[in-house]
Amino acid sequence: MEDRSYFHFPPGCESGILISSMRPQVDFLSLYQAFDAPIVAADCGQFCAPHNPNGVPFCCDIHHAVPAVYRAEWKALKASTDLWRLWRGEGSAAEQAAALRADTPSNMTLLVCQGAARCQRPFRSLACRQFPFFPYLTEDYAFIGLAPDADFTTRCWVLQHPGAVTAAYRQEAVAVFDRLFSLWPDEMDSYADRSEELRQACIARRRRIPLLHRSGLNYWLSPASGRLRRADFLNPL
């Protein structure tokens, strides 16, 4: 079975465990409206789907990616659309399904949609909208931009053509996660852990991290020193 770690925060994440009853409410439908720009000008799914034996975009294939959403987000989706339902282990062996559930923070749940052909784009989850990038946090918790999910580099057309990412997508992603982190600052822990995992993986492979910086510029980031070097990203990551 293919790796599907993109939609999951790292094991051991604490942010889903100690959630205060006084936590501010997040209007996820409002976040969706604010984060609706296309990631590229074309329909990128039509480029990767032919390379998937299942004939659908990899990010929309339950055999490759299981979306994890906040429980509050699931409540909003359930009240607004029939697109989603709880994931019951489709596309996974029982042992693998149990592992995915165990790795999912307690304030999140795993969902499955009706498939790419029946997508209701206004009700795509936050995980769907950010894919194939995630908020990158430095070691001192500075949210400086968007980093790629390295597990999908060979499958995702966008990661093979990062120069095609629209400015609007970057701007909206940064603004929405700024908003989410201001309301739920503990959620930064999950992305800080994910960023650290990426740094360690790139150090081991002696590779730099391609970064869509929040300033609108693109950089190669040294995972060891944190130094930034301007990049044009005309070539695959």
Is 237 part of a structural domain of the chain? no
Is 236 part of a structural domain of the chain? no
The model carries a pTM of 0.86
Query: Among candidates 69, 58, 30, 32, which has minimal Cα distance to 187?
Result: 69
Number of Cβ within 10 Å of residue 169's Cβ equals 21
Q: Look at residue 89 in the predicted model and tell me its pLDDT.
A: 87
CA distance 198 to 168: 25
Is 235 part of a structural domain of the chain? no
Domain around 100: 5-230
Number of Cβ within 10 Å of residue 190's Cβ equals 22
- 3-class SS at 50? helix
Give the 3-state secondary structure of 123-163. Answer: HCCHHHHHCCEEEEECCCCCEEEEEECHHHCCCCHHHHCHH
Query: What's the structural domain count of the chain?
Result: 1
- Residue position matching structure tokens 């784009």: 121
Q: Which residues 6+ apart lie within 8 Å of 228 measured at CB?
A: 211, 213, 219, 220, 221, 222
**pLDDT tens digit at each of 237 positions of the chain:** 444 444 443 333 434 334 445 789 999 999 999 999 999 999 999 999 999 999 999 999 999 999 999 999 999 999 999 999 999 988 777 887 888 888 888 889 999 999 999 999 999 999 999 999 999 999 999 999 999 999 899 999 999 999 899 999 999 999 999 999 999 999 999 999 999 999 999 999 999 999 999 999 999 999 999 999 999 875 444
Asked if residue 86 lies in contact with residue 111, where contact means CB atoms within 8 angstroms, the answer is yes
- Residue position matching structure tokens 């294939």: 61
Q: Look at residue 233 in the predicted model and tell me its pLDDT.
A: 74
Q: Look at residue 234 in the predicted model and tell me its pLDDT.
A: 56
Half-sphere exposure of 42 (CA within 13 A, CB side): 11
